[in-house]
């Protein structure tokens, strides 16, 4: 298991930055950390190596939560990160943006915005039916979804109307444009899942791109 550095944060919102050449760069501002190490798991005691980090102040804790956190700050969200380098962490250690710098790639995970019940055209970007030849109510329908005589039924998992959004989404290989460690702010190129003030998890990119166009605010 490779060392997967990660940090919890909160989506602040989107804005734009300008390069020295005047080009506009759309960025998402994330308030990342500070997080605190609340638990260390080792292969000897738990069967695998991982650390648990906490983020965000909690207004109140129940007795099991108080017993788990001990003298550490009351934290609202706990998240486990697998890593082989558990020896470099200790309980109560602060995890911040000190290891992040502009130009690196990160993966951002969050819960997407819930859209409620939606039709297939909105949910899966279906084209819809033709708008001629006598059709008056089929423009946004999915069309025929059943098979013929064999097997004579609708297959499971077929795309159609249903609940849209409100699911775990990870956006890969987002470039870090700017880091403001003093204010715990991380700015990444493009959009990330979830609404403003939504909880997100940021980690170093797990997959490498075959072709990467070097981009930075200086060029």
Higher per-residue pLDDT: 194 or 150: 194
Model confidence band, residue 53 (pLDDT cutoffs 50, 70, 90): very high
Q: Residue 34, preceding bond cis, omega within 30 degrees?
A: yes
* Residue 142 · residue 161 · CB < 8 Å: yes
Beta carbons within 8 Å of 62's beta carbon, 6+ residues apart: none
Q: How do residues 62-96 score in pLDDT, each as one tens digit?
A: 898 888 888 778 888 899 988 888 888 888 888 88
- Measured CA to CA, the distance from residue 68 to residue 61 in angstroms comes to 10
Q: How do residues 125-169 score in pLDDT, each as one tens digit?
A: 988 887 777 777 778 888 888 877 777 888 888 899 999 999 999
Q: What is the reported pLDDT for 201?
A: 95
Q: What is the reported pLDDT for 209?
A: 57
Q: What is the reported pLDDT for 219?
A: 54
Q: What number is the average pLDDT over the span 107-128?
A: 93
Q: Which helix (H) or strand (E) holds 40?
A: strand 35-41
Domain ranges in the chain are 115-164
Q: Does 210 score more than 70 pLDDT?
A: no
Higher per-residue pLDDT: 93 or 213: 93
- Measured CA to CA, the distance from residue 19 to residue 2 in angstroms comes to 35
């Amino acid at each position: 298991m490779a060392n997967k550095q990660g940090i919890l944060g909160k989506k602040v919102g989107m804005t734009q930055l300008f390069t020295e050449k005047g080009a506009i760069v759309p960025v998402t501002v994330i308030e990342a950390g500070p997080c605190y190490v609340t638990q260390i798991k080792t292969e000897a005691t738990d069967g695998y190596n991982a650390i648990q980090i906490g983020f965000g102040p909690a207004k109140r804790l129940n007795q099991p939560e108080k017993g788990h956190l001990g003298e550490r700050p009351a934290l609202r969200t706990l998240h486990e990160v697998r890593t082989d380098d558990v020896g470099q962490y200790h309980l109560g250690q602060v995890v911040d943006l000190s290891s992040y710098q502009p130009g690196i790639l990160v993966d951002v995970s969050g819960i997407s915005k819930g859209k409620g019940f939606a039709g297939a055209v909105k949910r899966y970007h279906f084209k819809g039916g033709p708008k001629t030849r006598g059709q008056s109510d089929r423009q946004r329908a999915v069309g025929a979804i059943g098979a013929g005589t064999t097997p004579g039924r609708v297959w499971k998992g077929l795309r159609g109307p249903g609940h849209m959004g409100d699911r775990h989404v990870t956006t890969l290989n987002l470039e870090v444009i700017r880091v403001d460690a003093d204010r715990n702010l991380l700015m990444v190129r493009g959009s990330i899942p979830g609404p403003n003030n939504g909880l997100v998890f940021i980690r170093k990119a797990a997959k490498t791109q075959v072709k990467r166009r070097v981009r930075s605010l200086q060029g």
